[in-house]
Structure 1
Amino acid sequence: MEVLRVFLKLGVTSFGGPIAHLGYFRDELVMRRRWIDEAGFADLVALCQFLPGPASSQVGFALGVLRGNGLLGGFAAWLGFTMPSAIILFAFALGAASFTGPVAEGFLHGLKLVAVAVVAQAVWGMARTLTPDPVRAGIALAAVFVVIFVGGSFGQIGAIALGALAGLWLCRNDNAELAGHLSFPVSRRQGAASLALFAALLLLLPVAARAGAHGFALFDAFYRSGALVFGGGHVVLPLLQAEVVAPGWVSNEAFLTGYGAAQAIPGPLFTFSAYLGTLMGPAPNGLAGATIALVGIFLPGLLLVYGMLPFWDRLRLRPAAQAAMRGTNAAVVGILGAALYNPVWTSAVLNPRDFALALAGFLLLAVWKAPPWVVVIVLAAAGTALHLV
């Protein structure tokens, strides 16, 4: 199948995070294969940035729906783009338990420092783009306080909700010029059914998690995380940390180690969930846990983008929707900034040498524009060397 083959190629070659992924998609699918025109692609990207979920995977899924003429094409695109990195992280999780000794400790600590550098660069880049004025900077700061004083997933949900309300009130004076048009083989009835399923799962899964086996709680945790990730893949870090580290399902050390390793591979960052599902303390774990976590975290974003395709042209013109999204994006910067301190910084930067290495990694990414896999190699090697000295 053409869609599966093309996205499998993208899944093994697309390094660099969601913004880079969109560049790969544009080169391969807009410029080379002409699956969609430039204006339509830009509008599709705008839709996926408006919605919670992994933007690059949502764009890929929608292009699969377009080229494959329906859900089967969308599933083929998601499968091809996602599976390579998911398999790599699943294998990494299986081998992590047997990777012990001084060399292993130094290597894994280096991966934690990679997480510091990557999240710091994400906060820096997102702050420059999403909080360009005092009002949105204030919303981001308020989100930091909400996350710190409320804590857990409730604090993060509250920060996002307050950001949306603040945006409606304070961010209505920055209406961008919109262009493009989306026309996909999805009817309004199909879109409405997809949105209804998204909402039903969001409401009913917590009930099933309290009443049923741990598998429901696992699926609920990852589904809720995927449903609330505004602003890019790195924002999933604090959401997942609250869901799997706080209850003791995965240790904080293992969590940050896997997050660091995820920077070195191609494909969507959300496949980090396969690593976490494999390591999960209570069963299901292993392959079953990886599958539940992977489907759980991607499903809400895909349901939302499929549901919104028939309605986006009209909704995007409404000033209220644009203003709420500006406030939400500013709140996301605050949430990620709080996560940069805890758990990322507090767990990885233990002495001045760690600080120096983390700063070097940040400069490699932000100033010298090194690809993330280079930073992984440099900091993992440096962490190993320092641990042996």
Structure 2
Amino acid sequence: MSVTENTPPHHFPRDRENLWTLFLVFLRLGLTSFGGPVAHLGYFREEFVARRQWLSERAFTDLVALCQFLPGPASSQVGIAVGILRRGYFGALVSWAGFTLPSAILLILFALGISRHADMLPLAALHGLKVVAVAVVAQAVWGMARTICTDLSRLTIMLVAACTCLAFSDTLSQIVVIVLAAVTGLALFSATPSAPLDALPIRVTARSGLIWLAIFLLLLIGLPILSRSSGSQALSDLDAFFRVGSLVFGGGHVVLPLLQAEVVPSGLVSNDTFLAGYGAAQAVPGPLFTFAAFLGASMTVGPSGIAGGVLCLLAIFAPSFLLVAGSIPFWNALRCNPRMQAALAGINSAVVGMLLAALYHPVWTSAIHAPSDFALALAAFVALVFWRVPPWLVVVLSALLGMAAAKFV
């Protein structure tokens, strides 16, 4: 399979140099891109459109539209798509590695520090990290609700989705919520066809796209069967994280309830460790999906440490590779389809409700135990939303304030 149509061949040294350059560009982004997926897209636009002129403004917007439509981390998927455009499949791997490795390595090291040297990290600091997770998720709910739930119908979908997820916290219920929201969107919303759009400058054949989508569906269906029949914990972890990466709509923060449902009730990761890692994930640059590396390294059963972190990291990002490569040939037609736009409107409203449910449980119920906890969470929320303090600084200050507050209790 080839990603691009026939182009003049390059010598291998030049290919390696270009791949290395691509890696360094994304590595710098991976080291400096704080602020979540929306901020990441801003960094990407400045780098790829304004500075390097790798993409036109319209082409970049088209890639963002595609990745917002797909499940998974939109910013990472845009990076993968840019990598495909620049250097084919190897370019996709190199761009993903550069953007993802800095935060993944830091979170694996943090997980090893908690599991092996827990006494070196004060419990009060861990509690501060759990409290700041409340503010971060509340910020996501606030921002998404203001932009997505703009009328009574969307607010109602959000409310029903939140109540359903609170009443039934298993993964199947969340899938049902997304499907019903899509059906409701088709019934309630209408969209007018947009003007003709420029074709994306990425040449993936329809045949190649169908093969990648078939592999995605095969893994999504086959991994649960393999994991149950084999009894292997490694296959079970691979199945769980691949499924989460396949079902997360609405950005990285929505991954929280799905991952929590997979690893906490089963005892693979304690709830305290889960929320401490989620708080730590806010302090590192790059995609929030690297939280999977922390969880894999923190497992109490099966693969753990570095091997577990790498396994879960690759599993949760694998759907993004398959979906981006598989959907590019068909996106130009789909994104102009009014029915598809209507279904997506319903899904986006339900995503806000799922995030609202996650804000209460497990984030709020596991972190807010005293008035001082609420005060710290409120201060962190105001700092993030209104004072525009960088998230990494809010996380660090919350950990320090948690330690300070513990001395007066």
**Native 8 Å contact 1:52 1:229 kept in 2:** yes
Which runs of no fewer than 5 residues in structure 1 stay unpaired? Answer: none
Partner deviation per Cα, 1:42-75 (whole Å, 9 max, x = no partner): 111011001100000000000011011x111111
**Structure 2 counterpart SS, 1:311:** helix
The two structures have a TM-score, normalised by structure 2, of 0.92
Counterpart for residue 390 of structure 2: 371
Secondary structure of the 1:291 match is: helix
Q: Could you tell me whether the CA contact under 8 Å between 1:103 and 1:388 is conserved in 2?
A: no
1:283 paired residue among 288, 293, 302: 302
How far 1:285 sits from its partner (Å)? 1.0
Counterpart pick for 2:316 among 288, 297, 301 = 297
Name 1:45's counterpart in structure 2.
64
Q: Does 1:113 align with 2:131?
A: yes
Does residue 137 of structure 1 match 2:183?
no
One-letter identity of the residue aligned with 1:160: I
Task: Give the distance between the partners of 2:70 and 2:48, measured in 1 at CA.
Answer: 22
Between structure 1 and structure 2, the one with the greater Rg is 2
The answer for the alignment partner of 2:339 in structure 1 is: 320
Decide whether aligned partners of structure 1 residues 248 and 81 sit closer, same or farther in structure 2, where only a CA change above 3 A counts: same
By how many angstroms is 1:210 displaced?
0.6
Q: Which amino acid aligns with 1:217?
A: S
- Quote the residue 1:125 is aligned against: 143
2:356 maps to what in 1? 337
Q: Cα offset for 1:155?
A: 1.4
Aligned partner of 1:234 in structure 2 is: 253
Change (3 A) 1:94 1:326: same
Q: Following TM superposition, by how much is the alpha carbon of 1:306 offset from its aligned partner in structure 2, in angstroms?
A: 1.1
Q: 1-side partners of 2:118 and 2:299: how far apart? A: 19
After superposition, give the CA deviation of every residue in 1:157-176 in whole Å (9 maximum; x if it has no partner).
Answer: 11111111111111224766
Are 1:60 and 1:77, in contact at CA under 8 Å, matched by a contact in 2?
yes
In structure 1, what is the equivalent of residue 236 of structure 2? Answer: 217
Evaluate the alpha carbon distance shift between residue 231 and residue 174 of structure 1 in structure 2; reply closer, same or farther with a 3 A threshold: farther
Q: Please give the residue correspondences for 1:1-389 in structure 2 after superposition, counting only pairs within 5 Å.
A: 1-68=20-87, 70-100=88-118, 104-173=122-191, 179-212=197-230, 213-389=232-408
Tell me: CA distance 1:2–1:101, structure 2 relative to 1, closer, same or farther (3 Å): closer
Q: What is the CA distance between 1:18 and its match in structure 2? A: 0.6
103 and 184 in structure 1: CA distance in 2 versus 1, 3 angstrom threshold? closer
TM-score, structure 1 length as denominator? 0.97
Q: Which moved more, 1:97-106 or 1:293-302?
A: 97-106
Matched-pair contact (CA < 8 Å) for 1:48–1:59: yes
Match of 2:13 in 1: none
Alignment-mate amino acid for residue 277 of structure 1: G
Residues 66-102 of structure 1: CA distance to partner in whole angstroms, max 9, x if unpaired? 011x111111100111111100000010011344459
In the alignment, the residues of structure 1 paired with residue 263 and residue 198 of structure 2 have an alpha-carbon distance, to the nearest angstrom, of 40
Q: Which secondary structure state, in structure 2, belongs to the residue aligned with residue 10 of structure 1?
A: helix
C-alpha deviations, 1:183-226, integer Å up to 9, x for none?
21311111111111111111111101111211111011101111
**How many Å separate the matches in 2 of 1:99 and 1:178?**
58
Look up the SS of the partner of 1:309 in the other structure: helix
Measured against aligned partners, the alpha-carbon deviations of 1:15-40 in whole angstroms (never above 9, x if no partner) come to 11111110111111111111110001
Task: Give the superposed CA RMSD.
Answer: 1.4
Q: How many residues are aligned here?
A: 388
TM-fit CA distance, 1:150: 2.4
* Residue deviations 1:97-137 (CA, integer Å, cap 9, x gap): 34445971110000001100000000110111111111111
| C-alpha distance after superposition, 1:264-314 (max 9, x if no partner) | 111110001000000111111111111110011111122111111111001
CA–CA distance in structure 2, aligned partners of residues 321 and 247 of structure 1? 36
Report the 3-state secondary structure (helix = DSSP H, G, I; strand = E; otherwise coil) of the residue aligned with 2:122. helix
Q: Pick which of 253-262 and 149-158 moved more.
A: 149-158
Q: Which moved more, 1:172-181 or 1:289-298?
A: 172-181
Q: Offset of 1:377 from its aligned partner?
A: 1.4
- Contact 2:380 / 2:394 at 8 angstroms: preserved in 1? yes
